[in-house]
Structure 1
Amino acid sequence: QVPSAKCGHSCTQDPSQPSQVPPAQRPFACPQCGRSFGRKAHLARHLLVHSGTRPHACSRCGRRFSSKTNLGRHEAVHTG
């Protein structure tokens, strides 16, 4: 996890490293931190980070996550 210098959110990829997709192919930019995405749906998912919305809850402990991927990663702690 690497904290963003712009918004402080921790990202899995280093924002200082060049993206695999050129900026011209990422037309959807976050109005809060400037991170850009190639698909509108990816921007919508990213915006959950800034809003604090966490719609995916762990069925065992109730901890909430902004993405199903993060929820799935967390659920592994319960199964070992």
Structure 2
Amino acid sequence: HRRIHSGERPFTCPRCAKGFKTPYERQRHALTHLAAEKPFRCGDCGKDFPAANALLLHRRQRCQDKPHTCGVCGKRFTYGHSLKVHERVH
């Protein structure tokens, strides 16, 4: 708590030496360095991502990667939880 109000920034980025108050802020900042390094490409739309989990999230939300299918009506869902909620309709 004191660190936030004192202005102390002990968590330093190893690439650019910028200081941060928390490890989380430093980690979030590190993603900006990866912006130029995006080795994960969506095969559907061609958009590039810095991390595999970001590509997976994109595919599920934007590119219709819906692996969960209702056995009754065939409707597809991104998340298993959404399918379970839907199945209550039948």
TM-score, normalising length: structure 2? 0.38
Larger Cα Rg: Structure 1 or Structure 2?
2
TM-score, normalising length: structure 1? 0.42
